[in-house]
Amino acid sequence: MSRIQACFEALGRARRKALIPYITAGDPHPALTVPLMRALVEAGADIVELGVPFSDPMADGPVIQRAGERALKHGVGLSDVLSMVEDFRKEDNKTPVVLMGYANPIEAMGSERFIGRAKEAGVDGLIVVDYPPEECGEFAAQARRAGIDPIFLLAPTSTDKRIREVARIGSGYLYYVSLRGVTGAGNLDLADVAARMPKIRAATRLPIGVGFGIRDADSARRVAETADAVVIGSRIIQEIEAGTADEAVARVKAFLRPIRQALDASSRQ
Amino acid sequence: MQMYDLPDARGHFGPYGGVFVAETLTAALEELRLAYERSRKDPEFQAEFRYELKHYVGRPSPIYHAKRLSERCGGAQIYIKREDLNHTGAHKINNTIGQALVARSMKKPRVIAETGAGMHGVATATVAARYGMECVVYMGSEDIKRQSANVYRMKLLGAKVVPVESGSKTLKDALNEAMRDWVTNVDSTFYIIGTVAGPHPYPMMVRDFQSVIGEECLVQMPELAGRQPDAVIACVGGGSNAMGIFYPYIAHEKTRLIGVEAAGEGLASGKHAASLCAGRPGVLHGNRTYLLQDKNGQITETHSVSAGLDYPGVGPEHAWLKDSKRAEYVAVTDDEALGAFHELCRYEGIIPALESAHAVAHAMKIAPAMRKDQVLLVNLSGRGDKDMHTVAARAGLDF
């Protein structure tokens, strides 16, 4: 059983919702990435999404773009990100790690070589934003053979046919993008999320994470009323950029803890 | 050669092209694909497109025998397709009219565009004014500094120009930002891409609208020169003027197709924009194609004296034409392009865009080794008014 599957099964038994924070690897400094990942876990993360910096992050809003630019200034590439996961694994063999990024750095390394190295490093899932199912059948199959979950996005505009296609090829969890726009936008539509969940659940037994636009304990709690997992990215990056590098670990923990508490409080009701 | 019928149903030219976008854009691209398919088959749409090209753009654009330049080169006869004479001064308007008509058929009241040198931005602002649409143009803040006259032109035409401060602050970043706008405002907005790149159906759609250039040449060359050319030469940034003149010639196997990229300060310097000559295949802006990238797969910054060629990718159909060897791709330096710019001014009384000067430079390079009865056809994709500051600055003058 994959770490991601084990994680969701354990959460299901405990009737808890998954909290999935995102940070960009190398932001604000490469030496801080592993400490930040550990801080996220200490503050209650169930799965960590680690962004791979890319020069042209077409699907990201300004906050995650800036994080990527800071990481790229330190020369952080895909190889470095894999080394960071390897480091993280030295002390944490349980928390699933999902890499999120764009296709080109992967193709530059070579898909097969990348998947082999990701497996060795202890990566559990991959979200390649610009790899829709039609364009990455072989890549997704390679990942699954290596025991890595290919995770796909669904959008408010995804058709039923498309939901079935994504459910067929994806594993680990499905990532529902809760708004029309880029990461970090403010217009989360909770009614849309609630309305879409039954449609997606009809097509898949995979857990469903919801992200893009979740900003605080309240929006997280309300999304978790229908979703299995809550993904938070831009707000965490904002916490990192609001303070000095030395404060990053403490700030991120302080931000995430109340969200964990809110999720657990409402799931006990 | 087999009948050429690319791209396939999902926009692939061999291994290139495709739809490499986030799920958030998938539905919008599918809607566009269907709408364009309808327009393509609709005789009324095609008739209106042709009418606009004739009466608003001034087509057909003439072909001109550059006799003095040919004599100076001492070899092949050089003919010039005068896209610089189109309304707005470049080939870009062919495509923006086509896409604006598709936008209107989809009832989208707002159009957006990315622009580098500003020519596509001006062409988009122009058609937005013509058809009464709201228009927003994304432009890198570096490019805004380099091309202030075009920025003002767009504003006069009623467009809003949004400076893009991310990444290298140039064309590729403007494209990223336009995509972000589109994904956020997809219900009301049509994204008019300016070149034969981006996700399917853009490379095909832009090629189709631009191929009026080559179709006219097929008719004009026999009338004027008594034959089809031995080679067709066009500059390639994203590659829309080149695709427009190449496409109708693909089936004419005796005509060589030569794309000219920007070698900037020389391919060895690393300061260039020659993705086909010096890049590797990868994925950017929704399609797989040749890209200028570093070992980590990060897209690298490009350089060219002409802002319109300053792009790290290239249309996927060019990638396919290169691999299949139907077209050849070469590169011309800033200095060579400027040399050709001045020659065309002095010998023919035509001030070319610096982009188009790259194609002229290559024609001047190969013409001397050819016979006098051989024929080169150069696509003069735009006029040089926008480049006065750049050319003057290179000569040490303050314009």
Beta bridge partner(s), residue B111: B135, B190
Q: Could you give the 3-state DSSP secondary structure of residue A150?
A: strand
pLDDT in tens, B55-107: 999 999 999 999 999 999 999 999 999 999 999 999 999 999 999 999 999 99
> What is the C-alpha to C-alpha distance for residues B327 and B291, in angstroms, rounded to an integer?
18
> The tokens 């500059």 sit on which residue?
B235
Q: Which SS3 state, helix, strand or coil, does residue A232 take?
A: strand
Q: Please give the average per-residue pLDDT across B204-232, as a whole number.
A: 98
CA angle B168, A130, A103 (to 5 degrees): 75
Nearest residue in A to B186, CA atom: A180
Mean pLDDT computed over B242-257: 98
Domain that holds residue A210: 3-268
Residue B40: exposure state from Cβ atoms within 10 A (0-12, 13-18, ≥19): middle
Chain A residue nearest residue B290, CA to CA: A104
Would you state the pLDDT for residue B147?
A: 86
Q: Is the model's pTM score more than 0.90?
A: yes
Does B173 contact A152 at a Cβ distance shorter than 8 Å?
no
CB B123 within 8 A of CB B99: no
More confident residue, A215 or B360: B360
Residue B146: band (very low, low, confident or very high) from pLDDT cuts 50, 70, 90? confident
Q: What average pLDDT score do residues B216-241 get? A: 98
Q: In terms of Cα–Cα distance, which of A222, A209, A212 is closest to A7?
A: A209
- Provide the angle, in degrees to the nearest 10, between the axes of the packed helices B43-52 and B92-105: 140
Q: Are B204 and B11 in contact (CB under 8 A)?
A: yes
Q: With a cut of 60, say whether residue B1 has pLDDT above it.
A: no
Position B395 scores a pLDDT of 87
Integer angstrom CA distances of residue A221 from A40, A153, A209, A258, A264: 18, 21, 13, 11, 9
Cα distances from A51 to residues A34, A91, A237, B255, in angstroms, run: 13, 20, 11, 48
Helix (H, G, I), strand (E, B) or coil at A146: coil
- Name the average pLDDT for chain B: 96
Tell me what ipTM this predicted complex has.
0.95
User: HSE (CB half, 13 Å, CA atoms) of B348?
Assistant: 25
Q: Is B381 a catalytic residue?
A: yes
- Find the mean pLDDT for residues B204-227: 98
Predicted pLDDT at B240: 98
User: Worst-scoring range by mean pLDDT, A91-100, B41-50, B143-152?
Assistant: B143-152
User: Is A180 close to B186, i.e. CB distance below 8 A?
Assistant: yes
pLDDT (0 to 100) of residue A178: 78
User: What is the 8-class DSSP label of residue A109?
Assistant: H
Cα radius of gyration (chain A): 17
Interface of A with B (CB under 8 A): 53-59, 61-62, 65, 69, 72, 77-79, 102-109, 129-132, 134-135, 152-155, 157-159, 162, 166, 177, 180-182, 185
Q: In the prediction, which pLDDT does A188 show?
A: 73
Cβ A23 vs Cβ A66: under 8 Å: no
| Model pLDDT, residue A187 | 65
C-alpha to C-alpha distance for B241 and B95, rounded to whole angstroms: 10
- Angle at the Cα of B242 (from B237 to B244), degrees rounded to 5? 130
Domain count for chain A, please give it.
1
What CATH number is attached to the domain comprising A120?
3.20.20.70
- pLDDT the model gives residue A269: 57
Q: Return all residues near B241 (Cβ < 8 A) that are at least 6 apart.
A: B83, B91, B210, B213, B234, B235, B356, B379, B381, B382
Tokens at B22, concatenated: 């986030």
Residue B239's pLDDT is: 98
The confidence score (pLDDT) of residue A185 equals 66
Q: What is the DSSP letter of A147?
A: T
Q: Could you write out the three-class secondary structure of chain B?
A: CCCCCCCCCCCEECCEEEEECCHHHHHHHHHHHHHHHHHHHCHHHHHHHHHHHHHHHCCCCCEEECHHHHHHHCCCEEEEEEHHHCHHHECHHHHHHHHHHHHHHCCCCEEEEEECCCHHHHHHHHHHHHHCCEEEEEEEHHHHHHCHHHHHHHHHCCCEEEEECCCCCCHHHHHHHHHHHHHHCCCCEEECCCCCCCCCCHHHHHHHHHCHHHHHHHHHHHHHHCCCCCEEEEECCCCHHHHHHHHHHCCCCCCEEEEEEEEECCHHHCCCCCHHHHCEEEEECEEEEEECECCCCCECCCCCCCHHHCCCCCCHHHHHHHHCCCEEEEEEEHHHHHHHHHHHHHHHCCCECHHHHHHHHHHHHHHHHCCCCCEEEEEECEECHHHHHHHHHHCCCCC
Q: pLDDT digit of tens for each residue in chain A (269 aa)? A: 899 999 999 999 999 999 999 999 999 999 999 999 999 999 999 999 999 999 999 999 899 999 999 999 999 999 999 999 999 999 999 999 999 999 999 999 999 999 999 999 999 999 999 999 999 999 999 999 999 999 999 998 899 999 999 999 999 999 998 776 777 666 677 888 888 999 999 999 999 999 888 889 999 999 999 999 999 999 999 999 999 999 999 999 999 999 999 999 987 65
Give the nearest partner residue to B24 out of A59, A72, A162, using CB atoms.
A59
Q: Any bridge partners for residue B17, and if so which?
A: B12, B288
A130 labelled catalytic = no
> What pLDDT is recorded for position B32?
98
Of B20, B27, B285, the CB nearest to A135: B20
Q: How far apart are CA A165 and CA A177, in angstroms?
A: 16
* pLDDT score for B168: 85
pLDDT of residue B142: 87
Helix (H) or strand (E) segment spanning residue A111:
helix A111-121
Give every CB contact of residue B260 below 8 A, 6+ residues apart in sequence.
Answer: B233, B234, B235, B236, B329, B330, B331, B332, B358, B359, B361, B362
Residue B44 annotated as catalytic:
no
Q: Which residue of A has its CA nearest to B295?
A: A108
B152 Cβ contact partners less than 8 Å away, ≥ 6 residues apart: none
Q: Do residue A132 and residue B281 have CB atoms under 8 angstroms apart?
A: no
SS3 breakdown of chain A: % helix, strand, coil, rounded to 5? 55, 15, 35
- The number of beta carbons lying within 10 Å of the beta carbon of residue B248 is 18
